Amino acid sequence: MEEQQPKATKFMLNYGLILGLVSVIFGVMLYTQKMHYEMGTPVIVISVLLTVVAIFLGVNAYKKANGGYLKISEALKIAVGIALVSTVISLIYQYVLINFIEPDFMDKAIEMAKPKAMAQNPSMTEEQWEQGVAMQKKLGWLRYPIGLIFSCIIGLVVGVITGLILKKSKPEY
């Protein structure tokens, strides 16, 4: 008698929801500390580490539920699914933050970025800066699909690595 294979979507949703909620909590923590304008290296590293841990735990849980067996393709599917679900939750939080909680978020973020940008490019005129800001505001909606794509790519890479580490084929007999 053959065992029934567990549903990958269950693991994608469960671990994606967990990662999404942890990401929102991290975002709220940054907001309460007035650090939500900064996307410095420590914030990015912590976000990526949270993603890596959640994907590894999700793929490993699937492997255990599947009798200790795992194909790389299953690891990829679960990893990208976890990344996708968590990113949708995180992007919803960002949308609510930027449009409802703090409507002047973009203006403040641009204002904080101006001195650094001017220092990096001293030949930039005020007019060029204003044109760049106008273009950034006009194309601000691109942040959501780009974030989704970037997150799926991270999920793909982490899924391949996790799949290679945890893979175990079922015997042929």
Partner residues linked to 70 by β-bridges:
168
pLDDT value of residue 1? 42
Long-range CB contacts (within 8 A, 24+) of 94-98: 94/27, 94/143, 94/144, 94/147, 95/144, 97/27, 97/31, 97/36
Of the listed ranges 15-19, 76-80, 120-124, 149-153, the least confidently predicted one is 120-124
Report the percent of the chain where pLDDT is more than 90: 69
Indicate the pTM of the whole model.
Answer: 0.91
| pLDDT, position 8 | 96
Instruction: Report pLDDT for 78.
Output: 98
Range name among 65-74, 110-119, 149-158 with the lowest pLDDT average? 110-119
- Please state the φ and ψ torsions of residue 167, each to the nearest 5 degrees: -60, 145
Mean pLDDT calculated for residue range 70-99: 96
Confidence of residue 3 (pLDDT cuts 50, 70, 90): low
Q: How confident is the model at residue 125 (pLDDT cuts 50, 70, 90)?
A: confident
Domain ranges of the chain: 8-103+143-166
Q: What is the mean pLDDT of residues 164-173?
A: 89
Q: What is the pLDDT of residue 99?
A: 92
